[in-house]
A and B are shown apart, each in its own frame.
Chain A
Amino acid sequence: AQTVTQSQPEMSVQEAETVTLSCTYDTSESNYYLFWYKQPPSRQMILVIRQEAYKQQNATENRFSVNFQKAAKSFSLKISDSQLGDTAMYFCAFMKHSSGTYKYIFGTGTRLKVLA
């Protein structure tokens, strides 16, 4: 069974600084997707960034980038130039798409607080 581990329950960062959130996963699959989702205090979960396992190039979305280390099964999120609006829970998620299964497994989350 796939598992997703986020070892940092809480983190804080000064506004305009850079922060990295960690995520590791366990799977025997070779084809899968990895995601970072953000959940602000308002509760609605939104996609931050996604990575397809067969792509070696790390995904980037504006201030958000990932460091995908497939052999190490590591998928960290880097937030550059942190903004107050980045304050939220961040969840790492894994989805395999072999055998017609599209099931997403989430980590326990990291609560990020951006300080003014």
Chain B
Amino acid sequence: GAGVSQTPSNKVTEKGKYVELRCDPISGHTALYWYRQSLGQGPEFLIYFQGTGAADDSGLPNDRFFAVRPEGSVSTLKIQRTERGDSAVYLCASSLLGRTTSGANVLTFGAGSRLTVL
């Protein structure tokens, strides 16, 4: 697509429920990133994919968080047994990688998914 698309844009759920957040990156972008942003804070790294595999998942806060990218394009961030502290905006970004590719290594962000856990 022309840009990075994230759905839903807003999600309200109850404590303990399961949620899925979807990211559709720019076509052809090999890298896909998930960040979490709390109010007034900078984006906090969660995980990134190169192709289908998670290249670095060191930012996932605990085992309630999981992300997949089965075909190397769309990614889903999954949160089990949600807690009030999970409330934040979840940002997805994609990029080309490489030192010589024009426009490489520049993140293009989606508009984010705002998660509210009651």
Binding site for B on A (CB under 8 A): 4, 6, 33, 35, 37, 42-47, 50, 91, 93, 95, 97, 100-109
The answer for the CA separation of A43 and B42 in the assembled complex, in Å, is 12
Q: Which residue of B lies closest to A42 (CB)?
A: B111
Tell me whether chain B's interface is mostly helix, strand or loop, or mixed: strand
Q: Which residue of B lies closest to A109 (CB)?
A: B42
B48 touching A102, Cβ below 8 Å: yes
A91 touching B43, Cβ below 8 Å: yes
Q: Which residue of A lies closest to B107 (CB)?
A: A104
Q: What residues on A are CB-neighbors of B111 within 8 Å?
A: 42-44
The answer for the CA separation of A109 and B89 in the assembled complex, in Å, is 15
A97-B99, A104-B33, A104-B107 known; A45-B42 Cβ under 8 A: no
Count of interface residues, chain B, beta-carbon cutoff 8 Å: 27
Which chain B residues numbered 20 to 58 have a C-beta less than 8 Å away from chain A?
31, 33, 35, 40-45, 48, 50, 55-56
Binding site for A on B (CB under 8 A): 31, 33, 35, 40-45, 48, 50, 55-56, 89, 91, 93, 95, 97, 99, 105-112
Q: What residues on B are CB-neighbors of A44 within 8 Å?
A: 109-112
A50-B106, A95-B105, A97-B105 known; A108-B56 Cβ under 8 A: no
B42 touching A47, Cβ below 8 Å: no
